[in-house]
Amino acid sequence: MGWEFAPKVTLVESPHVPPSHLALGAARTCYSKRFMRPEDVVKEGRLDDRGKSILKSIGDAGHNTTRQHAMLTFEVADVSRQFLWQFLHVHPFYNSEQVSQRYVEIKPGAYVTPPLRSDAAKRVFSSTCESLFTAYEEIKRDLLPVCRAELTRRFPKYNSDRWTKELESNAEKRAQEVARYVAPVATKAFLYHTVSTNVLERYVAASQVLGTTGEQLAVVKQMESLLRELDPDYVTLPREVALEETAEYRSAINHLRGADISGGDIDAYVRDPSVIAGIHSFRAAFDARLDGLTSRLLPGSEHNEELLAQAVRDVICRQDLSLDEAIRFAMDMSINPHVYTPSNTATLSPFARAMQTVHYSFEKRLSHTADSQDQRHRMTPGSRPVLMLEVGANPDYLIPTLVRIAGGDVERNYRAAMETAWGGIGELLRMGEPAESVQYLFPNAKAIRFAQGTNLLNFQYKNTLRQCLNAQEEIWQATVEEAKQVLEKNPAIGRFLLPPCGHRKAAHVAPFCPEGARYCGVRVWDMPQEEFLKYERMI
C-alpha cells in the first residue's frame, strides 16, 4: 500500500557551513568574550564529543534559537494540496512559493493517489478524480462568457479588438479560479519551501499528531535525510510526544471507550454514528452563529480603542494625546507612512507596534481552496480542523458567487461534481478504506470552519491586502465583513481598515493603485468606506 506518486524533495539551498557547526558557534558565543565562529568550534572539520554534548544539552533544555540561524530551502514536488493545507502551511515559521491554482491551469491526471487496500478502491479513487477534472474543464469553459461580460463591464477598453487577446487571457484565469473548486484536494502541487533546521526538527517531532498522513511522513523523512547528508554532525532533538499521548487522539479513544475498535482507532471513530451526528450538530450550530456571514467578530473588542490609545501614549510618555490623535498616529498612513509599505515595515514603527496590544478574533467558514490562501497570512493563525475526521459526514461545501450568478448548466454541473466527490468518499468508506486516504477525495469546495485571531497590527496588514479586488473572492468577502464589523464596534479603529489604494490616496501616494498592470478596473479609492463595504463583487 505505497504511494503511486511519491513526493519528491530536493535540497536546493543550504548554509555555507554545516548547520551543526553554525549552531554550536552561536551557542558558545553567548558565553564567550569574542565571536566563536564555526571554524573555531570544530576539529579537522568535524564536531568533537564536547561539541556534540553541548548541542544535545541545549536541545534537551529547549534552548533552540541557535538552530534557527541555518536555513534550508527545498524543492517539494508531487505533493497534494491537502498536505500543504494540513501540514506545511498550518504554522507560522516557514516561507513557501507554490504553483497557483488560480492562475495556472490544472492538467488532467495531476493528482496523488494515497495508499488503498484493493485494486477496486484504486479504480473508485481514480474514476472519481478523473470525473472531477472533467467537471473542472466543463465549468471553466461555461464560465468564460460570464467572465468576459464582467471584465468588459469593468474595462471598457476590452470592447476594442485591440484588447481581445488580453481579454481572453484574463477571462480564462477568472474562470479557472472558480472552476478549481471542484478539483480534489489530492491535486498535485510543487513549491519552494524554506525552514530553519529548528523548524525541521519540529516537523520530525510533529509526525506524531492527529491528522498525520503517510505523505507527510514521506516528505519529512526525505527532508531529514537530506539534512543528514549535508551535515553528518547534526544532533537530533528528542522525539517528544507519541500519537497515542496527544489530547486529540485521546478525545477520540475516550469517545469510543467500550466500543469495538479493532479495525483501527481513528477509522472506527469516523464511522461511529454518534460522531457523525455530532459533526452535523456542530456544523449547524456554527453556521447559525455566522447568521449568513462568512466571518463573524467574536466578543472582546469593547475596550480596544482605549487600549490602543493608551499604548500609543506609552510610546512617547504623553498622557495628553486624545483618543483620536493617538489612534491616528498608529493607523493613519497620512501621518504614519509605515502603516502600509510593500515590505511591511509597520513592525519597526514604535507607534504602529502599539497595535500589538489590541486583539480581534473571528469565527469563519471558507472553502478549502480559499483557506489554503488565507492561512498563508502566518501571523493570523486559526484553529483549523483535522479534516480526515469528517469523511463520514454529509456533503458540506461552498458554492462560489460566480457559479450562483451563472446558474443553469454551470450550477447543475457544479452540484453534480460535489455529488461525485462525496459519492466516491462514501464508496471508499463502504469498502473499508482508511480515513487518511479517503480524505483526499474532498473537493476544494469543502467547507472549513475555524476560529482565527490576531493582534491589530497583523490584522490591519492582512485586511489591507485582502480588501483589494484582486484578492480571492471568498477571502475578500470575509475581509470586508471583518472591516465592517470592526468599524461598527470600534469606529475610531475601523475607519483605517482600508484597501491598499484607500491608504495610498489618504497619504497622497501616487499612483493610488499599487498593482500596476494588475489594476482591478474599479476606482475603489474614490468610494467612501461605507459604500465600498457594500460593494457586490462578481469576479
Domain boundaries, the chain: 119-186+386-448
Sequence letter at residue 308: L
Residues 6+ apart with CB under 8 A from 273: none
Question: How do residues 222-240 score in pLDDT, each as one tens digit?
Answer: 999 999 999 998 877 666 6
Q: How many CB atoms lie within 10 A of CB 208?
A: 17
Which stretches within 61-118 are classed as H helix?
A: 81-83
Residue-wise burial string across 342-358, b where 16 or more C-beta atoms lie within 10 A, e elsewhere: eebebeebebbbbbbbb
Q: What is the pLDDT of residue 447?
A: 98
Is the confidence at residue 259, as pLDDT, over 60? no
Question: How do residues 511-520 score in pLDDT, each as one tens digit?
Answer: 999 999 899 9
Cross-strand bridge partners of residue 397: 446
Q: What is the pLDDT of residue 310?
A: 98
Flag whether the pTM goes above 0.85: yes
Q: What is the pLDDT of residue 38?
A: 86
In terms of Cβ atoms closer than 10 Å to its own Cβ (0-12, 13-18, 19+), residue 137 is: middle
Q: What is the pLDDT of residue 1?
A: 56
Q: What is the pLDDT of residue 193?
A: 96
Q: Phi, psi (5° rounding) for residue 406?
A: -65, -40
- 2-6 mean pLDDT: 66
Residue 81 in contact with residue 372, Cβ under 8 Å? yes
- 244-250 mean pLDDT: 81
Which stretches within 180-213 are classed as H helix?
A: 197-205
Q: What is the pLDDT of residue 21?
A: 92
- Nearest Cα neighbor of 41 from 50, 59, 67, 229 is 50
Which helix H or strand E contains 378, and what residues bound it? none
Residues 6+ apart with CB under 8 A from 247: none
Q: What is the pLDDT of residue 237?
A: 67
How far apart are alpha carbons 473 and 468 in whole angstroms?
10
Q: What is the pLDDT of residue 262?
A: 39
- 441-447 mean pLDDT: 98
- Nearest Cα neighbor of 518 from 75, 102, 197, 53 is 102
Is the confidence at residue 258, as pLDDT, over 60? no
257-261, 376-380, 522-526: which has the minimum mean pLDDT? 257-261
How far apart are alpha carbons 288 and 267 in whole angstroms?
29
Grid coordinates of 173: 484565469
